[in-house]
Structure 1
Amino acid sequence: MKELPIIRSFIKFAWRHFGLRTRYLQWKGQKLVNEWEYLVDNAPDRADADRRVLIIPSDPVLISRSTGDQAMIDAIKAEWTRRMPDAKVYVATVGGDADLAAGKLGLEPLPILQDGSTITDSYTASLAIRPDVVILMGADGVDGSYDPSFSVRNLALVDLLSRSGAEAYITGFSVSRDFHPLVTTVFDRIDENVAVNLRDPVSFARFTDASDCSAREVADVAFLLKPQENRSVGRLNKWIDEQRSLGRTVLGLNFHPLLLELDHRSALTDLIEAMAEVVEGLLKTGDIAILLIDHDERGSSSDALCLRPLYEMLTSRFSQRLLYPEGRLSAPEIKALSSQLDGVISGRMHLMIASIGAATPTFGIDYKDKMEGLLQLCELDCDNLASAETVLADPNDFRERIMAWIADLEAQRSKVVAALPSIRKSALKNFAPLK
């Protein structure tokens, strides 16, 4: 039995590094494309609609364990409840615990995305609720760079529901350099009534270069999220006020395992140590305090896998100026908290969005090359962007870049404030009717 862990480790290594995962997802994605192409020619008409909105989430398993997903769901729900006060809002799930999570968000679960279910299964079950509106949450789950089969299935479902008469939207999403050809196959034939939205100018340019599909540039729907002040946020605001009363600049910090590509994930310990070196250098100045912000708690990509060990390395020496809050904050709470910070260093796209939406400057640690487009959209300085690779290569250089950014925070905040009205207007375009 002692050999079992070794065998499992070898299988996991081979799956990641010998191309087995890539080949399997390609095969699975192609099978789904073939099924969708058959259904396109045989899509039934929907029965009379019944004031129902269906959200297809970025993660039908965990629903809102990512704070970014929660921000998008909350913003979508609020907008469509405003438009259709009597509508019932559903979210597609895999069933089980996902249904419970949906209920906690005030949504009706629709378990149609179980592992092994076909597009036909999901489509038929969707038609049964007679949706007026179907919304595929965009973000970074549409371009196929993580899993082309997942992207194909979701795109196929929104396409087929549109062909059957539902009003259909894909909220603003990113396109990385790894835009998968199976996904472009679907976009090239997607129903012309689907509103396809790209969430930044870089993604829009990549999309239009790769596909003939009609699309428009918008801001991420999470910019519409309303902040929420409460007792939990108030306690943290008190700590921030205390730090600021001592003349300190108060920063938020987030980083996580996904900053490293899957085949480089073995360097995670090195990244944590490099970031600890950076944070130590910042705290040694004496006039900086740092709040560690959890934004995602999904298994092996959880922020705590990076933030907890960093905190444990440094808290004994900097306990008065380094805080890692107990308990997870919701998306509206994080947006409220971000408004009180002087700046946020973020490895999460939606933490950057929450911060910018709260008029707080951000410095991004990029992954899947998607943050540059966000900064361009907001007319912010793209020099305020790094990567895990640059942090690993030279932590001191990264710290010096952060110090230069801190020195410019007042000017950065003015830029963010000036950009916000147009950003919010652009976010509303996610649900503007096609012309």
Structure 2
Amino acid sequence: MMRRQSLIDQAIIARNLLQVVLPLHRLRASATRPILPETPTRFAIIAGDVTDPASSLGDLAMFSALMQSLRAQNPDSIFTIIGERRQTIVIPGIGETPVVPAWSGKTGTRAFDELIRQHHALFVMGADILDGKYGAALVQRIVAYCNHSVALGIPATMLGFSFNCNPRAPAVHALSRLHPKVTVNIRDQPSLDRFVRIVGIPAKLCADSAFLMPPATDSEPETEAWIAAMRREGRTPVGVNLNAHALAPAIAQVGMDKLIDHIAEQLRHAGVQNRLAFLLLPHDLKLQSGDVIMLKALESILQQKGFAHVRYTSIDHPDKIKRLTGQLDLAITGRMHLVIASLSSGTPTLSITYQDKFEGLYQHFDLSLEHTITPIQCLSDEFLRKINDAFMHRHDNRARILSCLPRVKALASRNLAISTCDPAD
């Protein structure tokens, strides 16, 4: 098995060398970069999901935060998203934004070279893709594009990302060969420590760029009216998100139906004991993500168990979700960017942990890891204990979050720094 994986890894590296690295090297030698205006206005962004950049609300939150922040610095800023196919997506606070195909094969490589020469800077949506968890070939191409960009004198920045304990070998191979002029931002201290130890190059500490996304100004009348009605009844509104990705180990052990039934029973007990009301919030609307299926099933089971103070709401804009999280007392979720939306609104969270992502996030806010839970713990009465404990400490945790938030937002702003970059190989 290890031998087979090693052969796969070597094939990924060799294919990237032939389809991306060598063609880019030849293209650098064959053309000169057009002279652009001195004021940076044109920004290219590599999507976290190049196949469908708008499919994840977390990715949309990062797009929105980056673009709105850059446009605040320069109202004339223009953005191009790099993906696999030509389309237009809507970014909260920005509007329609073009996605240009500059990814697959040698054709994508040539398209990227032509595109980047027309831009002042390149940004990469780091998030959780750069350890190779979602594809090592993806990381290989990202690194090649960043190296090509700075070699042309165009600054390249990897936006704050996390880095797990077991990165893919081709990802480490590529990252260790990053040009020193590429800016590497890591979104938490444990990830930074792992990255420096495993990859062997320097990087900078920041916080996730999504902390900079403002909440929506327009209300969600029906949902906000329900939250207000629950409070009038003396109930405390709590957000809940379930998804197949974070809960995969528990689903593998007992199946999705038994897991949802157990979670429903634990939530019912917590709801009765603490007079809670549950707002069920999907944060990824793709079918395979499981958010929608699991939450609709959860709503139905809770009602069958006689707990009526539950509402499923589907919202496809991350800034609107951030607005709602600010009206809750607690959020229970395994979605990283739903946790970020909650924390940046001052709302405490109980996080279902996976992929070594949450320890560092909690560290930013001096929050106890007692307010996290593993997927397997969700199968036991430990889930109820964790909910009750997080609920009991919600006021103290809110005060701690709000006191740390200015510092965390300042760390998130480090993603916006664009280094000067002279052409060099």
Q: Quick one: structure 1 residues 190 and 286, their matched pair in 2 at CA, closer, same or farther if it must change by over 3 Å? A: closer
Query: Aligned partners of 2:412 and 2:240: how far apart in 1?
Result: 25
Per the alignment, residue 397 of structure 2 pairs with 412
Aligned to 1:121: 110
SS of equivalent to 1:230: coil
1:6 alignment partner in structure 2: none
Please give the alpha-carbon distance, in whole angstroms, between the structure 2 residues aligned to 1:141 and 1:400.
33
CA deviation string 1:242-291 (max 9, x = no partner): 11122212100112011245896473333323322222222333611110
Cα deviation, residue 23, structure 1: 7.0
2:344 to 353, 357, 366: 357
The reply on whether 1:108 has 2:98 as its aligned counterpart is yes
Pairing 1:303-322 to 2, within 5 Å after superposition: 303-318=291-306, 320-322=308-310
SS of the counterpart of 2:264?
Answer: helix
Say yes or no: does 1:200 pair with 2:188: yes
**What are the Cα deviations for residues 158-200 of structure 1, in whole angstroms up to 9, with x where unaligned?**
2211211212111000101121221222222211221100000
Task: Give the structure 1 partner of residue 22 of structure 2.
Answer: 38
**Matches of 2:330 and 2:401 in 1, distance apart?**
11
Alpha carbons of structure 1 residues 416 and 306: separation in structure 2 relative to 1, 3 Å:
same
Shift of residue 71, structure 1, vs aligned partner:
0.4
1:86 counterpart = 2:76: yes
> Equivalent residue for 2:213?
225
User: Are residues 286 and 200 of structure 1, via their aligned partners in 2, closer, same or farther at CA, if it must alter by over 3 Å?
Assistant: closer
Q: Distance in 2 between matches of 1:295 and 1:24?
A: 37
Which residues of structure 2 form unaligned runs of 5+? 421-425
TM-score (normalizing by structure 2): 0.89
CA deviation after TM superposition for structure 1 residue 101, in Å: 2.5
Aligned-residue offset at 1:125:
3.8
Residues 58 and 277 (structure 1), Cα distance of their counterparts in 2 relative to 1, 3 Å cut: same
Query: CA shift at 1:54, angstroms?
Result: 0.4
Structure 2 residue matching 1:101: 3-state secondary structure:
strand
Counterpart-to-counterpart distance in 1, 2:272 and 2:106: 54
Instruction: Indicate which of 140, 160, 163 corresponds to 1:175.
Output: 163
- From 64, 69, 73, the equivalent of 1:74 is 64
Q: Where does residue 163 of structure 1 map in the other structure?
A: 151
> What's the TM-score, normalizing by structure 1?
0.87
Question: Cα distance 1:31–1:281, how it changes in 2: closer, same or farther (>3 A)?
Answer: farther
Q: Is the 8 A contact 2:209 2:415 kept in 1?
A: yes
Which of 321, 324, 340 aligns to 2:312? It is: 324
> CA 1:240/1:260 → structure 2, altered by over 3 Å: closer, same or farther?
closer
1:387 to 374, 382, 403: 374
Deviates more, 1:168-177 or 1:259-268: 259-268
In 2: Cα distance, 1:210 partner to 1:80 partner = 32
Query: What is the letter of the counterpart of residue 26 of structure 1?
Result: D
| Partner Cα separation in structure 2 for residue 389 and residue 268 of structure 1 | 13
- Offset from partner CA, 1:331-350 (integer Å, 9 cap, x none): 11111111110011111000
Instruction: Call closer, same or farther: CA 1:269–1:119 in 2, change over 3 Å.
Output: same
Cα deviation for residue 37 of structure 1 reads 4.7
Give runs of aligned pairs for residues 229-248 of structure 1, distance below 5 A. Answer: 229-232=217-220, 234-248=221-235
Worse overlay, 407-416 or 58-67: 58-67
How far apart in 2 are the matches of 1:263 and 1:283? 23
Check whether the contact 1:25–1:149 (CA below 8 A) recurs between aligned residues: no
Matches within 5 A, 1:293-308: 293-308=281-296
Rounded to whole Å, the distance in 1 between the matches of 2:75 and 2:50 is 25
Output the CA distance in 2 between the equivalents of 1:196 and 1:219: 12
3-state DSSP of counterpart to 2:398: helix
Q: Which sits farther off after the overlay, 383-392 or 339-348?
A: 383-392
**Count of aligned residue pairs for this structure pair:** 410
Mean Cα displacement is larger for which, 399-408 or 278-287? 278-287
In structure 2, the CA distance between the partners of 1:409 and 1:140, relative to structure 1 (3 Å rule), is same
Moved more, 82-91 or 356-365: 82-91
Question: Which stretch shows the higher mean deviation, 189-198 or 275-284?
Answer: 275-284
CA contact 1:135–1:168 (8 Å) conserved in 2: yes
SS at 2:409 equivalent: helix
Give the Cα–Cα distance (whole angstroms) in 2 for the partners of residues 304 and 276 of structure 1.
Answer: 15
The answer to whether structure 1 residue 255 and structure 2 residue 242 are counterparts is: yes
- Indicate the SS of the match to 1:107: strand
Match of 1:61 among 51, 61, 67: 51
Paired residue for 2:415?
Answer: 430
User: What's the CA shift string for 1:300-351, capped at 9, x where partnerless?
Assistant: 11411211111121224456410102x4241111111111100111110000
Equivalent in the alignment of 1:210: 198
Question: Structure 1 residues 25, 238: closer, same or farther in 2, change over 3 A?
Answer: farther
The CA distance in 1 between the partners of 2:251 and 2:9, in whole Å, is 21
Is the alpha carbon distance of 1:117 and 1:261 closer, same or farther for their aligned partners in structure 2, counting shifts above 3 Å? Answer: farther
Give the drift of 1:22: 5.9
- Distance of aligned partners of 1:418 and 1:315 in 2 relative to their CA distance in 1, 3 Å threshold: same
Cα distance in 1, alignment partners of residues 363 and 135 from structure 2: 27
> Is the Cα contact below 8 Å between 2:155 and 2:419 reproduced in 1?
no
> Which residue pairs with 1:342 in the alignment?
329
Instruction: Give the 5 Å matches for 1:14-33.
Output: 26=9, 29-33=12-16
State whether residues 25 and 147 of structure 1, in contact with CA within 8 Å, keep that contact through their aligned partners in structure 2: no
Give 1:120-139 correspondences, 5 Å limit: 120-127=109-116, 130-139=118-127
The runs of 5 or more residues in structure 1 that have no matched partner are: 1-17
Decide whether the 8 Å contact of 2:102 with 2:109 is kept in 1.
no
